[in-house]
Amino acid sequence: MSSNIRMRLLISCQDRPGIVATVSQFLYENGANIIQSDQHTTDPQGGIFFMRIEFECEGGESQNLEAAFTEIAESFDMDWRLSHVNTLKRMAIFVSKQDHCLLELLWRWKAGDLNVDIPVVISNHPDLQATVESFDIPFHYIPVNKQNKREAEKEQLECLEQYHVDFVVLARYMQILSPDFVAHYPKRVINIHHSFLPAFVGANPYERAYQRGVKIIGATSHFVTDNLDEGPIIAQGTKEISHKYNVDDLKRIGRTIERDVLARAIQLHLEDKIIVYGNKTVIF
């Protein structure tokens, strides 16, 4: 029916009998039709239970679901969230001087392959302003250095609030965010690191990979936490290399991997397919 809306319910809690039956019965009693359902338990003997359900219900009923489900969630001590599929998330992009990840996201967004709003791009350098504005997206240049970092992050956060941003993507943004900034967007800042983590954390990973003589290079997209490049991993990609490649070759190959991995991670987030637990993720 045209009045139907599609929603997603994500759940994590201690595993125990009756969770699936209770949730399914709740949705049935509230007039919902389950379209897709996935679940995972970390350990059949007392592990953590994870569930993602996509369903349709009438628009009027959807407004009551969240309040009605609270009692069930409390009885199972659930971490949970309910989202509307047709409500676009609002994504801010942070970037420095390198444009490959930024352009990949803008191209996919322009083509309709990323179902997201991009209300603003923020950079600590002015270099990519013309590129961003050619997509009719506002560009904010906020310089960052050791002396003004606190003031710069305050301005960034005010900008994100002004544009009602839901989550932040660091598209090769070459700055370390403070714990205060991260606390404003817990599990909602996605980074791309140009290394197959946990190898070569921090700066210059391609140079260090070359010096180590690795045979595989890669990239990792993860949620940002207070620990540098140690947040929950969302997506990774690799490519085999050999002694024939120099550092510039590794960087050139790596840029392609970075673009793909970051875009895949964002797509998973947009489709509500990620549940974070501890420092890990379940990807449905």
Phi, psi of 159 (to 5 degrees): -65, -45
Token reading at 258: 């970075």
DSSP 156: H
- Work out the end-to-end distance of the chain between its first and last CA atoms, rounded to an integer number of angstroms: 27
Spatial separation of the C-alpha atoms in residues 130 and 149, rounded to whole Å: 25
The strand ranges marked E within the chain are 4-14, 33-41, 48-58, 79-84, 90-95, 117-123, 139-141, 167-170, 189-193, 216-223, 233-240, 274-277, 280-283
Contact 260, 236 (CB under 8 A): no
Q: Which residues contact 166 (CB under 8 A, 6 or more apart)?
A: 89, 90, 91, 188
* Cβ contact 231:182 at 8 Å: no
The catalytic site residues sit at 229
User: Maximum CA pair distance of the chain?
Assistant: 63
Question: Are 208 and 200 in contact, with CB atoms under 8 Å apart?
Answer: yes
**DSSP state at residue 244:** T
